[in-house]
Amino acid sequence: MGEVISGERRISTEALNERAARAASGFVSLGVGRGDTVALYLRNDIPFFEASTAAGLVGAYPTPVNWHYTEDEARYLFENSGARAIVIHADLLEPVRNAIPEGVPVLVVETPPEIASTYGIDPARRAIREGMTDWSAWLEGFEPHSGDGSGAPGTIIYTSGTTGRPKGVRRHPPSAEQMAVSAAILGRNFGFAADAANIVTVVAGPMYHSAPNAYGLIAARLGAKVILQARFDAEDLLRLIETEKVTHIHMVPIMFNRLIKLPEDVKARYDLSSLRDVVHAAAPCPPPTKRAMIEWWGPVINEYYGSTETGAVVHCTSEQWLSHPGTVGKPFPEADVRVIDAAGNSLPPREIGEVVAKVRTMADFTYHGDDQKRRDSEKVGLIAPGDIGYFDEDGFLYLCDRAKDMIISGGVNIYPAEIEAELHKMPGVADCGVFGIPDEEYGEAVCAVVQPSPGATLTEAEVKAYLRGLIAGYKVPKRVDFHAELPREDSGKIFKRKLREPFWQGLDRRI
């Protein structure tokens, strides 16, 4: 029987579903119905699964919120989503209390000890206090909802907002056929296609992101054993793999980087032989990092490419990647993936253009409250996630960069990802971000921000000299800055908007 585990707490899938059914009746009592939204301001916790399932049972959209948000950012999402109820951890309530729209019911989850310990939360802040509505006590006051959830419309996921205000991707309620096809694609993509009841997985990424959200909820629905990490910890993951005999994990490349940097004696301490399918996405993975992970964990490292809007459209096994280093894979049979020029023409192999894609059988979507943005995202009948790339002669897709990150210097296109890949190899570089800054002569110039490794000392001259032997001279950064830490999403994406803003403030350029 499946179960969800968080710290010392375990709940069977059956008991979780029963609590979700009670919460669904509770949502109905609050006036939540079909097409409404329920905001989840929660870390990875068992009530995340309960509230998500409960919303779906009444035809509402669960809407996870990035709990790192400032009060202003949280207000925007609560208001933009039109949340009819908010489920929130106790310690997170006070910082955003003034952002909650008047009259919206707030259901408070006691912050569990494993999360409190991980984040150093004071015991007084994690408890349910006077005047709060306790989530667990509240849902126990209702009889289970009788619906079967067949009309669940899915989750509204807000994009990360690395380039501006996040947009809520609201998918139209799927037909039975669309649900079946989507489930089949996700099953293949996540490695859940067979023997789901014997799957043991760890949700290591935050469930307010689309991929960990879908991964965790689907695994639980299939009856897998789902273990929640309050926050990713490299050695703790190795411990869990050995002690729980973990078979499947969804990861992002920054997790690989942290695993690889563990001391050799720590890496050798744990038995990882139970692993069958480790899938990663969300951010570019430097080839040396991926090769090192395959050498360590074996050919269980798989990759996919897609977006919140398109879903997964491309997949790549370890064997495929080793024979085509750098690829993100081949399109799924159900997906239409093209690389096009500015006129919408499909480009031949090795020609760089914009990647557009769509799963033919997936239910369509809009951006919540902004249908025009949805129309703007479409090109040649497909969705443009904003990536630049090319196909090779064997039909494998390669990504060069984000379209918005591309630097145009003196009329020449420069792809930051190429420069970043070389910088990641430089001794003493822990992380880096490359982007364009204003330049009077060329329009834009290349700037690199480098995060040195602990104890390392680097200079601008050293970084430039290192790169001159690896990339063309016009790609070498004109400016190199050093930051102790780069602003980075939990998904692994760098907030380049925050790095660019000081340079472009007040100028005519999207930041």
For the segment 459-474, the average pLDDT, to the nearest whole number, is 93
Phi-psi region of 298 (alpha: psi -120 to 50; beta: other; left: phi over 0): left
Residue with tokens 């908010």: 86
Q: Exposure pattern of 261-290 as b/e (b: 16+ CB <10 Å)?
A: eeeeeebeebebeebbbbbbbbebbbeebb
The predicted pLDDT at position 77 comes to 95
Angle of the 210-221 helix axis to the 176-190 helix axis, nearest 10: 100
Task: Identify the bridge partners of residue 5 per DSSP, sorted by sequence position.
Answer: 10, 227
* Rounded-to-10 torsion of CA 499, 502, 508, 509: 0
Fold of 407-504: GMP Synthetase; Chain A, domain 3 (3.30.300)
List, for residues 45-76, the tens digit of each pLDDT value: 999 999 999 999 999 999 999 998 889 989 99
List, for residues 94-106, the tens digit of each pLDDT value: 999 999 999 999 9
Tell me if 92 sits within 8 A of 66, measured CB to CB. Answer: no
Estimate to the nearest angstrom the gap between the alpha carbon of 463 and the chain centroid: 31
Above 70 in pLDDT, residue 128?
A: yes
3-class DSSP string for 41-57: ECCCCHHHHHHHHHHHH
List, for residues 400-435, the tens digit of each pLDDT value: 877 788 888 877 888 888 899 899 889 999 889 999
Residue with tokens 């009841």: 197
Tell me if 210 sits within 8 A of 310, measured CB to CB. Answer: no
List, for residues 297-313, the tens digit of each pLDDT value: 999 999 999 988 998 99
Give me the DSSP letters along 260-274.
Answer: HTS-HHHHTTS--TT
Compare 176 and 259 and report the one with higher pLDDT.
259
Q: Running DSSP on this structure, what letter comes out for residue 413?
A: E
CATH for 172-298 is 3.40.50.980
User: Which pair of tokens denotes residue 211?
Assistant: 């991929």
Task: Kindly indicate the confidence band of residue 509, based on its pLDDT and cuts at 50, 70 and 90.
Answer: very low
Fold of 13-144: Rossmann fold (3.40.50)
Average model confidence (pLDDT) across the chain: 91
Above 60 in pLDDT, residue 341?
A: yes
The predicted pLDDT at position 361 comes to 83
- Indicate the domain borders of the chain: 13-144, 172-298, 407-504
For the segment 473-495, the average pLDDT, to the nearest whole number, is 85
Above 80 in pLDDT, residue 491?
A: no
Q: What is the reported pTM?
A: 0.84
Q: Running DSSP on this structure, what letter comes out for residue 173?
A: P
For the segment 483-508, the average pLDDT, to the nearest whole number, is 78
Q: Do domains 13-144 and 172-298 have the same CATH topology?
A: yes
Task: Kindly indicate the confidence band of residue 140, based on its pLDDT and cuts at 50, 70 and 90.
Answer: very high
The predicted pLDDT at position 456 comes to 92
Tell me if 412 sits within 8 A of 389, measured CB to CB. Answer: no
For the segment 125-142, the average pLDDT, to the nearest whole number, is 96
Q: Give the whole-angstrom CA distance, residue 317 versus residue 301.
A: 7
- Distances in Å between the alpha carbon of 134 and those of 54, 105, 260, 344, 503? 16, 12, 42, 54, 46
